[in-house]
């Protein structure tokens, strides 16, 4: 047997072993892969990274960041917030966006602080603006999640009426939710479409509704889900129960709207009064840096620090006053 024949036999043997190993691995991974896909679809992180029509593959850098932060508490919190805001972005992509925003803020602050001629002042202003740039994406998704939740709650009363009428017409609960997913406006139809898809994948209805409550934290929605779960366990006329709940939710939404109108002036005044000293300090820092830097030495630095603390406490107190729970 010559050397070429021996090499060919060894090559064929190695190829056969590799093919056999891949086949066995594929057969063993079918069930776990299916379970993993179901778990991934039902998890909150998937809701923040996958669209309803299919998954979107993040870039390589975002994948590396996702591997590093996977399993961390803050990663789960960010994924939950992205899901509530309905932003199709992974945790890694969001952290990259925050880092880029902070870097841009630092460069902008360094230039505004005349960092070329006054490096210390430019560094100080750059760090302040970088901190603001780091927080801007978080503020954006928080604001978007809050607006989306408010829009969902405002639509909930009419949605419950639609569900009650559908149940009276002979529809099942799943068919009723499919009808809501087709006929309701966003964000109501988006959330109920996710619930229907999860149920279609074999997830129990109670668990799918629990996922909905985590994505849309609302006392009104919690009341609806509790009523559905109780009716599922002990029975009863669900349509009649939904009528009562719908009327209660609509009245609560109306009262909240009236309170919002009555406290709007106080809320805006709180924002303006809190922003004026900060804006004036930044303006003085740009116009006359020497005047501001004179207060950065001990003990004069206690004045701006105490002012910032008092402004923050006053803003929190005013927010507590105008935040009336119904």
Taking only the tens place, the pLDDT of each residue in 211-240 is 999 999 988 899 999 999 998 888 888 899
Return mean pLDDT, the chain. Answer: 79
Contact indicator for 159, 184 with CB cutoff of 8 Å? yes
Please write the tens of the pLDDT for every residue from 3-35. Answer: 444 434 444 444 444 444 433 343 344 344 444
| DSSP states of 66-93 | HHHHTT-HHHHHHHHHHHHHT----HHH
DSSP 8-state code for residue 294? G
pLDDT at 317 over 50: yes
pTM (predicted TM-score): 0.68
| DSSP states of 166-226 | HHHTT--HHHHHHHHHHHSPTTHHHHHHHHHHHHHTT--HHHHHHHHHHHS--HHHHHHHH
What is the Cα–Cα distance from 58 to 48, expressed in whole angstroms? 12
What is the Cα–Cα distance from 284 to 321, expressed in whole angstroms? 32
DSSP 8-state code for residue 325? -
Please write the tens of the pLDDT for every residue from 115-170. Answer: 667 777 778 878 888 898 999 999 999 999 999 998 998 899 899 999 999 999 99
């Amino acid at each position: 047997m010559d050397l070429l024949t021996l090499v060919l036999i060894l090559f064929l043997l190695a190829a056969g072993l590799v093919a056999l190993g891949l086949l066995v691995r594929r057969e063993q991974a079918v069930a776990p892969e299916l379970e993993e896909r179901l778990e991934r679809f039902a998890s909150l992180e998937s809701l923040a990274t996958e669209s309803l029509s299919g998954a979107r593959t993040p870039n390589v850098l975002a994948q590396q960041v996702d591997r590093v932060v996977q399993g961390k508490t803050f990663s789960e919190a960010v994924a939950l917030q992205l899901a509530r805001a309905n932003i199709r972005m992974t945790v890694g992509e969001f952290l990259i966006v925050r880092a880029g925003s902070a870097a841009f803020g630092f460069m902008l602050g360094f230039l505004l602080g005349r960092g070329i001629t006054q490096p210390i002042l430019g560094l100080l202003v750059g760090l302040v603006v970088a901190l603001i740039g780091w927080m801007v994406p978080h503020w954006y998704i928080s604001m978007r999640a809050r607006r989306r939740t408010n829009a969902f709650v405002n639509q909930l009363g009419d949605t419950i009426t639609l569900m009650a009428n559908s149940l009276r017409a002979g529809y099942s609960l799943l068919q009723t939710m499919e009808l809501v997913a087709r006929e309701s406006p966003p964000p109501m139809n988006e959330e109920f479409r996710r619930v229907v898809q999860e149920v279609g994948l074999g997830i129990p209805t109670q668990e799918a509704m629990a996922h909905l409550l985590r994505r849309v934290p609302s006392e009104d929605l919690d009341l609806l889900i509790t009523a559905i779960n109780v009716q599922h366990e002990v029975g009863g006329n669900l349509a009649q129960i939904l009528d009562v709940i719908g009327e209660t939710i609509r009245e609560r939404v109306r009262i909240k709207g009236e309170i919002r109108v009555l406290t709007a002036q106080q809320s805006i005044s709180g924002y303006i009064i809190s922003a004026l000293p900060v804006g004036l300090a930044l303006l003085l820092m740009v116009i006359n840096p020497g005047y501001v830097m004179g207060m950065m030495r001990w003990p004069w630095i206690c004045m701006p620090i105490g002012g910032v603390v008092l402004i923050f406490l006053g803003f929190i107190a005013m927010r507590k006053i105008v935040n009336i729970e119904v």
